Amino acid sequence: MSLPTPLYDLKCFPSVYEPSEDTFLFIDALETEMDFIKSLNPTSIIEVGSGNGVVITSLAAALKCTQVLFAIDINPLACLATEHTAHLNKTTVECLNMDLLSNFKDSVFDIILFNPPYVVTESEEIVGQGLSRAWAGGINGREIIDKFLPKLRDCLHSKGVCYMITIKENKPDEIKEIMLDFGFKTAIVKERKVPGEHLFVLKFWRG
């Protein structure tokens, strides 16, 4: 099943991450997984760090969702951009301004999407709520990723699945071992080499 890139217009959102190679790889990976995703009959879907809203909107359109999908972002303008992208494509995504999944105490999701800040930077660059928070990942590009992964134990449904972007510098094999300790299996759904980056889309599910 084809997942076309949704319409988007970010001219009013200068501090929001423009769709790039990682965005398009993520959509391609979800396209590959559509039969499996549909087999889950998902009723609760969320994207963490939705940014421009292109990925969650693409999935919403493909599933022809009648229910509201959720997204979260630490950047309040990204929340508005996500909802704007969803509106342009006649889908409904409610985006909440929060850090990771911190405000979801008793919620579990069938599908969690995460395109994290994965670029290797100094820890001091992980500050504020602006554009740098979309890419600055700290040591090994893993500081935000390592805060996120343990949350899957409480926020992902027992039969649910999480898809996450990483790069080679994030040490995907090490992430696989961490997730094994948490009781999850890991697979590479898609990978792509682009100038300056070797991108991976990882899939996590309970073993």
Residue 3 lies in a domain: no
∠135-12-90 over CA atoms, to 5°?
90
Task: For 140-164, write each residue's pLDDT tens digit.
Answer: 999 999 999 999 999 999 999 999 9
Residue type, 182: F
pLDDT band at residue 130, thresholds of 50, 70 and 90? low
Say how many domains are in the chain: 1
Domain boundaries, position 99: 21-206
According to the model, what pLDDT value does residue 137 have? 84
Three-class SS of residue 193? strand
According to the model, what pLDDT value does residue 45 have? 96
According to the model, what pLDDT value does residue 57 have? 97
Residue 195 lies in a domain: yes
According to the model, what pLDDT value does residue 77 have? 94
Residue 7 lies in a domain: no
Distance, CA of 66 to CA of 111 (rounded, Å): 16
Three-class SS of residue 51? coil
Name beta bridge partners: 192: 199
**Residue 28: which CATH number?**
3.40.50.150
Name beta bridge partners: 112: 46, 162
According to the model, what pLDDT value does residue 187 have? 98
User: Could you tell me which residue, 98 or 136, shows the higher pLDDT?
Assistant: 98
User: Could you tell me which residue, 67 or 197, shows the higher pLDDT?
Assistant: 197
Residue 16 lies in a domain: no
Q: What percent of the chain has pLDDT over 90?
A: 79
Residue 90 lies in a domain: yes
Residue 144 lies in a domain: yes
Residue 150 lies in a domain: yes
The order of strands in the sheet holding 197-206 is 93-97, 69-73, 45-48, 109-114, 156-167, 197-206, 184-194
pLDDT band at residue 166, thresholds of 50, 70 and 90? very high
Q: How, if at all, do strands 184-194 and 197-206 pair?
A: antiparallel
Q: Which of 27-31, 53-57, 64-68, 77-81 has the lowest mean pLDDT?
A: 64-68
Q: DSSP label at 117?
A: -
Name beta bridge partners: 47: 71, 113
User: Could you tell me which residue, 38 or 133, shows the higher pLDDT?
Assistant: 38
Residue 85 lies in a domain: yes
Tell me if 165 sits within 8 A of 116, measured CB to CB: yes
Q: How, if at all, do strands 69-73 and 45-48 pair?
A: parallel
Q: DSSP label at 135?
A: T
Tell me if 118 sits within 8 A of 141, measured CB to CB: yes
Residue type, 33: E
